[in-house]
Amino acid sequence: MKGRVYMKQVENKQIKVILTVKGETDVLVFLLDDESPEKYTINLNDSSSQLQIKEVFSKLLEELLLFDIDLVLEIQEGYSKGLYKDVFTEYISELNKELKQTKSMMKKELE
């Protein structure tokens, strides 16, 4: 029953994702928290960033219960790593597809 309430109140929400550099570290910043904009940041130069990824995905799933979400990649002006630009443009595109599929599955399970 709860799920049906969530699904009836769905609205669209765009979430900005910024590819940038902090210090000397390449990061993806998911703007999911207005009070703490850098709370959901993934360090792209650290292979042990699994906890950061898990936190971002958990928050995205929470948002998906309430909204139809669309991630919008913004590449910081002057960001110079062409390979990262290409990779993360494709990554965000694929993540958007997965989020839409997940939302569809959630709707079916809550009907």
What would the two tokens of residue 15 be?
Answer: 């979430």
- 3 has pLDDT over 70: no
Tens digits of per-residue pLDDT, 40-98? 999 999 988 999 999 999 999 999 988 999 999 999 999 999 999 999 999 999 999 99
Q: Does residue 15 contact residue 32 with C-beta atoms inside 8 Å?
A: yes
Q: In the chain, what are the domain boundaries?
A: 2-110
For 55, what's the count of Cα atoms within 13 Å in the CB-facing half-sphere? 16
Quote the pLDDT of residue 5: 43
Quote the pLDDT of residue 4: 46
* Cα gap 31→45, rounded to integer Å: 20
Task: Give the pLDDT band (50/70/90) at residue 20.
Answer: very high
Q: How many residues are there in the chain?
A: 111
* Cα gap 25→3, rounded to integer Å: 40
